[in-house]
């Protein structure tokens, strides 16, 4: 659903664009809050690392004076590179390794301060068997999401990204998420999410929803980093462009 994705990214830019910057060589390792996210779509695994001063509301940290971030998996080690596409500062890399239970580590290597190594295992791969891309449903229809298996070591989240054109020529978008029990089959009903005004449904048209299933695990973050730091790994699958009418 292109209109939804664009608006969400634009919102993220507005929020993150206000952050200031701090050079890493000015900080002790314990003053660095790290947010590490490893995300696989079954074909590639992307690494995203964001460093902030103290907590997630602190200024972004730019690596300086020889400080570097490395990621490693299955014997392959890469240097994370600064992302210059967004207004905030983060560091990224990519692997072709997507096998479940693979251990990924992210190492903050410092020239003059303590190093910090964190690790997490990638959840098991999975496929969404149902529903299919591009089907049509009713707003009050119960839809079954069927996965091809379980992963007892991971948690599962269902995310519904939706959008409609409105009568004023604009676009209404939003997102709703739910934590799912460790089961391979579960349902959702858009009307039960109260995502649209029931009294104004006639004003919506060209409505679509994308179904995203996140399977995720939390890892072990280095104790050398700030206490609010974390490392998480995701297997993400998406069913796109499901049209819904009232």
- Give per-residue pLDDT as tens, 72-127: 999 999 999 999 766 789 999 999 999 999 999 999 999 999 999 999 999 999 99
**pLDDT number for residue 15:** 47
> Any residues with CB less than 8 A from the CB of 140 and at least 6 apart, and which?
189, 190, 191, 246
More confident site: 64 or 198: 64
Nearest to 106 by CA among 53, 65, 51, 153: 51
Q: What is the mean pLDDT of residues 15-32?
A: 82
Percent of the chain at pLDDT > 90 equals: 82
**pLDDT number for residue 146:** 98
> Any residues with CB less than 8 A from the CB of 211 and at least 6 apart, and which?
128, 131, 145, 158, 159, 160, 188, 238, 239, 242
> Any residues with CB less than 8 A from the CB of 82 and at least 6 apart, and which?
62, 63, 89, 90, 91
All structural domains of the chain, each given as residue ranges with its CATH number in brackets, are 16-123+219-232 (2.60.40), 128-216+235-245 (2.60.40)
Residue 130 clears pLDDT 80, i.e. is over it: yes
**pLDDT number for residue 200:** 79
The residue written with tokens 């910057």 in the block is 21
Strand, helix or coil at 73? strand
């Amino acid at each position: 659903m292109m209109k939804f994705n664009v608006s969400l990214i634009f919102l993220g830019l507005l929020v993150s664009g206000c952050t200031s910057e701090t050079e890493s060589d000015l900080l002790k390792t314990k003053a660095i809050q790290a947010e590490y996210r490893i995300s696989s779509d079954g074909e590639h695994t992307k690494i995203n690392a964001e460093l902030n001063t103290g907590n997630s509301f602190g200024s972004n940290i730019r690596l300086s004076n020889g400080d570097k971030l490395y990621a490693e998996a299955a014997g392959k080690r890469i240097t994370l590179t600064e992302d210059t596409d967004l207004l905030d500062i983060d560091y990224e890399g990519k692997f072709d390794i997507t096998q479940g239970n693979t251990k990924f580590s992210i190492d903050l290597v410092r020239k003059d301060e303590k190093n910090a190594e964190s690790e997490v295992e990638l959840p098991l791969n999975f496929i969404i068997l149902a529903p299919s891309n591009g089907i049509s449903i009713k707003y009050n229809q119960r839809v079954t999401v069927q996965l091809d298996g379980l992963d007892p070591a991971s948690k599962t989240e269902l995310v519904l990204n939706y959008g409609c054109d409105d009568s004023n020529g604009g676009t209404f978008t939003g997102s709703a998420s739910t934590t799912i029990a460790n089961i391979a089959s579960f349902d959702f009903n858009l009307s039960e999410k109260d995502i649209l005004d029931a009294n104004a449904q006639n004003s919506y048209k060209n409505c679509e929803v994308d179904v995203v299933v996140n399977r995720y695990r939390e890892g072990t973050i280095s104790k050398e980093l700030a206490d609010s730091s974390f490392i998480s790994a995701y297997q993400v699958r998406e069913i796109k462009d499901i049209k819904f009418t009232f």
